[in-house]
Structure 1
Amino acid sequence: MKDKNKLSFCLGSCRIDPSDNSISFQTQADETSQHEAAKVSLQPKFIEVLSYLALRHPNVVTRDELIEKVWEGNVYVGTKALTNAIWHLRQQLSPLEQDGGVIETVRKAGYRLLLPPVYDISDDTGIDKLQITEAKLQHTMRRLHFMVILMGAVIVTVGLLIGVHLYQDKQRMTETQMTVLTRDPGSERYPRLSHDRRWLVYGASRPGVTSSLYLKDFKREDIPARQLTPSTSAELRAVWSLDDTKLFFASRTQGTGECQITQLTLATNETLALAPCSTDMAAIDISADGQYLAYVSSLEAGKVGGIYRLSLVQPDAKAERLSCEVHCNYEDRDLAFSPDGRWLAIARRFSNISEDIFIRDLASASEKRLTHGLEDIRGLSWTPDSQSLVFATEDSGSRNGFTIDIATTHIQSLDVEGMSYPSSVSAEGELVYHQYRRQFQMAYFSLGESVSGSLFPLLYSSISHRNPDYSPEAKRIVFVSSETGYNEIWASDINGKKLEQHTHLKSRVAYPRWSPDGSKIAFIAPDDRNEGNRIFILDLANKNITALASSYHNHGRPSWNWQGTAVLASTSDGITEFYLDNSTPRVISPLTMAVGFAKSANEFVFSRYGVNGLWQIDLTQPEQVRELIPSKVFRAGNNWVLTANGVYFKSSNGNEQRLNFWEASNQQLTSLLRVPRSSLSGFGSMTYIQESNRLVMTLDGFPQRDIILLKHKLLK
């Protein structure tokens, strides 16, 4: 008998085929013919969840049962993955919503499929047998249900004596409620409620428009938000004074780029510059007694981002640095004072793919580490009792919210997909956050066409693919995909077909690069302690993965030398060469490198972190560095690729991005394509396929962020 979980079935006009993990919607063209839309491939786990819900229809399926059946009881992976699967299934099956919905969340129970599945007729015999078994199971369940009712009568009797306690438990188990507070086009983020919970301040930006702070009357939704800061400066994150009469924030002046921690008095609209800063996105918070501001900045030369504390009661006070001064193996990126004034919570980054939470005792300066091995922390906030933190993380492209008990370090998931920067947690279990939606895709642009083209997706999928690199020897594109729920290395042919997964690390891999002969792939992934990253080499001949010898805790994007015997990457000492034979690494230049390509055995072309222009270094005489493309022309950072004839790269100007070609022979610049700003990811990469005369790059739309009010049982 065929396993019913593997059978094709229909939900209304949607056909689900587990054999190739696809769904497709059917439309009626006329009375005699039926046309099926193009199939959409989903992750296998998504299809397994949907098939199991169909198998158990119309019963409610608990989360534990789904995790047991689909993820083999792996609670840590399954808890986040199930929430992600349900969200994606609802998105893909949204055309069926007009029929009354597809997947129902049953409070305190689990999920239920609302539409009856219709299985293929050819499998009727096997289905009938399975239905007999299911009928027996349902008979047993009815007997158990009767016993439960009998037990329930006893519980109700006892409950009459402890009704007050049951009422309190019911209050604590209030169903999760989400209310959208902003629906403006663009991006609203970093919300903070005033202490009296009357006013909401947040930062907002539109494509091509400077970001500003906005103030909204939380109790009057009919009144539009008021812009607080002018369009001549940029602001995003603010914090309230204890009496709610002032706001403190980082403000960056357009044109000069000067950044100042600023005080704004709301009644008079008067501003006062308090201290220098480095970015308008600086994390900022105020101490419980209102005497200090703390913010993240990187002011002094040679120092990474760190926490500065500024007195608000001492005239002309200078900010003092609380973070590591020199030889730091980490960077502080976010912070939050506890309501009781004892702790400062810190989000600390050890490498570009490793970040964790610490708390510092403000009296003794001693620290306690709460987490190990997070990828990217997106906001910190305390519960009113100062016993727990609420935080959001991004893991393999998926964001969610969590709570952590600072005494036990026990973490619980809020199961709120897309949560970012939670704040203003109340005793009633409410907070505000901004919901983040963004998906990376690989797209190609055909060169040399007689008719101007556009960007076309290379893979049609509901999951993220990014950072492509092409090997003319292997004739394959290697890239990072979250197909399995983790960022792993995959490869395809030049048309996005013949997909193959190359790593199964269940970790966070990034930035794969082919060796010159197409036999190996270099990439970075977390180290054993999840406090940094290492450069790994995947040998395709034997499938072995080895780590290159290194004493550094953080490595930038890897690039190969011309011979394929070493990998170059940026470290704390500059451009460093790591050898496949694991001999001692060599620092080539104190300059940093974002992306690099070997032009010949001795010539290496690279872009630099924080410095515009494209540069070339002689590896035999590394002190000889020249600017290949002027800084006023080249500001691509990561998005460029070197070819035999020149350089293709991305540029940004106002509300648009351009795809350009710099021809090496005559040093002429040609614009090839103009697209809206944020179409191409700033963290992506670009590669060239000579056989098809195409560029392949990471596509990214302008992120949609809306501010949400959340009420959750775990926050009480």
Structure 2
Amino acid sequence: MNLHVSLQRATDSLLTQSNLRLRIGEHVVDVGALRIVTRPESPRLTSKAMAVLIELVRQVGATVTREQLLDSVWAGRVTTPDVLTQAIKELRRAFADDGKPSRYIETIPKVGYRLIAPALVLDGPGTGLLVDGGEAVLEPPETTQAAPAVAPEAPPPSRGVDRKAVVVAALVLLALAAFGGYYASRNRADVAATTRWRTSDLHALTSDPGAEYRPHLSPDATRVAFGVFNQPESTERLMMRSLEPSQRIVLTQGSDSVEAFPIWSPDGHRIAFSRIGSDHCEMFVVAGLGGAEQHVRKCQDPGANYFDWTPDGRGLVSSERADGGKGDFQLFRFDLDSGEQRPISYERTAGAQDLDARYSPDGRQLAFRRGLSPYSDLFVMPADGGRPRQVTHVSARIRGYTWTADNRTLVYSADHSGMQSLYAVDVEDGHDEPLGIAPAAYPDAARSGDAVVYEILRTRERLKTLSLRQEGTPMQLLAPSTGNDYGAVLSPDGRQLAFASDRSGQRQAWLYDFESKTATQLTDASSKPILSVGWSPGADRILAVQRNGATRQLVEIELASRRQRVLSRPDDNIVFGAYAPDAQSHLMAVRVSDQDTRLYRVRHAGTAQESRELLLPSVVAAQVDPASRSLYYTSGVEPGLHRRSLDGDADERITPDTVELPRKGWRVAGGHVWYLADLGVRSGNLREFDPATGSDRLAAKLDLLLESVDFDVTPSGDALIFAPVDAEDTDVGFFRLTRTP
């Protein structure tokens, strides 16, 4: 990359341009819109907070006194120092800069503040300028090739070259290296140093109150169909509008159900969609401008009913479980004229779960997702079947993907970096890179051109408790924040909650104390998000499953010292972990393949004396009950909940056939089994099963949206602790995607 160095300062006029966009640390700031683009769920900044940010950017890395900020931002006005304090708090919330030490704005006690994150001008008249508070700035590179790790040795400067310029150039190179190192260490959804794809024209297509979901572009990229959530009626209707500002058209006749997954036919004349109710799931086809509906068929599983049109527009490709709904998910073609369904002939092993098939625009290739969430990857094979090739290696929660018009790129949404973000992968050589768009899900590209739409995730999952004994009691919010919370687990003494949360900007482990009502961050490895947590019997340590690249490791955290150690091996891919009742050994569920997760009892974990004993093959979920020294588990090959003694080989199934226990979404508390049943899009039931009496009762009806089936119940059975979605303002986003030359 050729670096052109200018002595031009990043001037006041540059930093006050209305179309200015800055990259500050991990985030993109649209100055004119008062927005943190990479955190669309956060509210707009006030103009004063943005003005404070600009003043800090002007002197990035240097301390700006409180007096300077008050004079420049509130010039000529009578104020108190509190207005500046509030502006700084607002900026820290916007950047999710909750941790200690700060990663963005540092407080210099009794003096002022300092912007410690790098700042770069992205858009505007100074595009590409690296703001460093001094005289040197970086101008746009001529190519997108990465700079060499070591700069080539330059010839001695001629007498006509200003030595100051040479020194400044060297400083810029050092600043650039530091800036690049900063981003490489973050492992976030940021644009890579060497990019194969370029995004542009990023903006929201919808901004109305309420939530718009799962957009799909017409083949000619002139119209977009999407679902709109009706809050009062708790239904979802399909709408269509032009990409240009226009009125919405209602596509369907309406019902008391949720209408989802609108998919345009290859010729753009029809739209297939699902209609999902509490007790049914059906598929329909409607004209591209709305009108009469054609009933197509019933769908087997509303939670996995992803589909696409066949290239000739005469059928659909989808996934269903074989053997009457009890087998593995595999791919089928359904003929719209005859109503006949046939399996696609392709190589697959027993236990493989294949979903969400998508034909390439030219109809020659078929992509699909293998593995149930959150352990999925994308595969590609010839359209008529054959041998699939794995093209991603992320083993993550993939929420939608799409072919682009070049027939060799897949754009997909995954959470392996911690936040649900968009990535692009070349199906021919496997090159995979982030697009820098997050939080984002369900991308869809036009069959021609460079247009892509996606779902701008603006939901919030927050910890709450629900009384199970006093019906009608409102839910209570725990540990409030502007972030999302996941997988709360009660400590054995009931005094604390361990959970994962992205309230600091990345998904890390947190601890909530019921007495003090305070939340404390336990981990701060931003490139290694925390997926789940669990307690030791003595409540003095926590086990956490931590993502490390494309795999997961098991980490133990000592609460008193905050000391951490990795218990798993480098080649392990941990699904979950737990302490044995004596707390001297550990249980580790290791993902061996897409079809096999094995549960081991590990002694002396993380040491040279480590030994492993295989307890169970093909385990899905497990929980240790220290009181009875038993292991409860669900299996990938046997239905129901099983109990196994950890002191012997006694193994029994404790739920009868009448109890439709899910393989995930259950918990043992107080000797009873609590589980989620009848899950709909925005509804579900919590049930309580007593193994001693066989009683199976409805404990609570949940009329809300659950993104996760993780929960806990107090030992007395008085309260449910979970993280439902309590805010929905999802919008439809748009961008253009092109390959770099």
TM-score normalized by structure 2? Answer: 0.62
> Which amino acid counterpart does residue 94 of structure 1 have in structure 2?
R
Matched, 1:180 2:199: no
Distance 1:445 1:671 in 2: 14
Distance 2:596 2:427 in 1: 36
Shift of 1:621: 6.1
Quick check: 1:490–1:503 contact (8 Å CA) kept in 2? no
Relative distance call for 1:327 and 1:484 in structure 2 (3 A) is farther
Shift of 1:253: 7.2
Instruction: Tell me what 2:440 maps to.
Output: 419
Quick check: 1:560–1:567 contact (8 Å CA) kept in 2? yes
Structure-to-structure mapping, 1:156-171, within 5 angstroms: none
Instruction: Tell me what 1:222 maps to.
Output: 247
> Which amino acid counterpart does residue 318 of structure 2 have in structure 1?
Y
Relative distance call for 1:240 and 1:537 in structure 2 (3 A) is same
Q: Find the partner of 1:86 among 8, 18, 36.
A: 36
Give the secondary structure class of the aligned counterpart of 1:477: strand
Q: Find the partner of 1:493 among 513, 534, 548.
A: 513
Shift of 1:441: 2.4
Give the secondary structure class of the aligned counterpart of 1:499: strand
CA displacement 1:542-585 (0-9 Å, x = unmatched): 6321117998x673x44444333342759767884533355444
Distance 1:207 1:460 in 2: 23
Relative distance call for 1:618 and 1:520 in structure 2 (3 A) is same
> Which amino acid counterpart does residue 478 of structure 1 have in structure 2?
A
Quick check: 2:554–2:568 contact (8 Å CA) kept in 1? yes
Structure-to-structure mapping, 1:112-127, within 5 angstroms: 116-117=72-73
Quick check: 1:595–1:638 contact (8 Å CA) kept in 2? no
Q: Find the partner of 2:476 among 456, 462, 469.
A: 456
- What is the aligned-residue identity percentage? 15
Shift of 1:517: 2.5
Distance 2:284 2:445 in 1: 21
Shift of 1:514: 1.0
Instruction: Tell me what 1:685 maps to.
Output: 711
Relative distance call for 1:91 and 1:421 in structure 2 (3 A) is closer
Relative distance call for 1:686 and 1:397 in structure 2 (3 A) is farther
Relative distance call for 1:687 and 1:102 in structure 2 (3 A) is farther
Structure-to-structure mapping, 1:187-586, within 5 angstroms: 187-197=211-221, 200-206=224-230, 214-216=238-240, 218=242, 221-222=246-247, 224-228=249-253, 230-231=255-256, 235-249=259-273, 255=279, 257=280, 269=292, 271=294, 273=296, 277-279=300-302, 281-290=304-313, 293-300=316-323, 303-310=327-334, 315=338, 317-322=340-345, 325-328=348-351, 331-349=353-371, 352-362=373-383, 365=386, 367-373=388-394, 375-395=396-416, 398-407=419-428, 409-411=430-432, 413-425=434-446, 427-444=448-465, 454-472=474-492, 476-483=496-503, 485-494=505-514, 495-497=516-518, 499-502=520-523, 504=525, 506-526=527-547, 530=550, 533=552, 537-538=556-557, 543-547=564-568, 555=575, 557-564=576-583, 565-567=585-587, 576-581=599-604, 583-586=611-614
Quick check: 1:277–1:299 contact (8 Å CA) kept in 2? no
Kindly tell me the number of residue pairs found equivalent between the two proteins. 598
Give the secondary structure class of the aligned counterpart of 1:683: coil
Quick check: 1:570–1:594 contact (8 Å CA) kept in 2? no
Distance 1:508 1:123 in 2: 29
Quick check: 2:238–2:252 contact (8 Å CA) kept in 1? yes
Quick check: 2:317–2:332 contact (8 Å CA) kept in 1? yes
Distance 2:601 2:51 in 1: 55
Relative distance call for 1:294 and 1:89 in structure 2 (3 A) is closer
Quick check: 1:235–1:280 contact (8 Å CA) kept in 2? no
Distance 2:373 2:617 in 1: 21
Relative distance call for 1:510 and 1:448 in structure 2 (3 A) is same
Deviates more, 1:333-342 or 1:203-212: 203-212
CA displacement 1:13-36 (0-9 Å, x = unmatched): xxxxxxxxxxxxxxxxxxxxxxxx
Give the secondary structure class of the aligned counterpart of 1:340: coil
Distance 2:41 2:12 in 1: 20
Distance 1:347 1:524 in 2: 23
CA displacement 1:270-313 (0-9 Å, x = unmatched): 63546864336522223444466322333336643333334568
Shift of 1:598: 0.8
Bigger fraction of residues in helix: 1
Q: How much is the aligned-residue C-alpha RMSD, in angstroms?
A: 5.7
Shift of 1:383: 2.4
> Which amino acid counterpart does residue 373 of structure 1 have in structure 2?
V
Shift of 1:339: 1.7
> Which amino acid counterpart does residue 665 of structure 2 have in structure 1?
N
Gapped runs of 5+ residues in structure 2? 1-9, 55-59, 75-80, 86-106, 116-131, 141-160, 162-196, 605-609
> Which amino acid counterpart does residue 334 of structure 1 have in structure 2?
D
Distance 1:362 1:664 in 2: 49
Give the secondary structure class of the aligned counterpart of 2:379: strand
Distance 1:194 1:588 in 2: 48
CA displacement 1:409-452 (0-9 Å, x = unmatched): 55555444333212242655323323221223223468999x98
Quick check: 1:263–1:272 contact (8 Å CA) kept in 2? yes
Shift of 1:237: 1.9
Distance 1:515 1:275 in 2: 46
Instruction: Tell me what 2:653 maps to.
Output: 625
Distance 1:543 1:440 in 2: 27
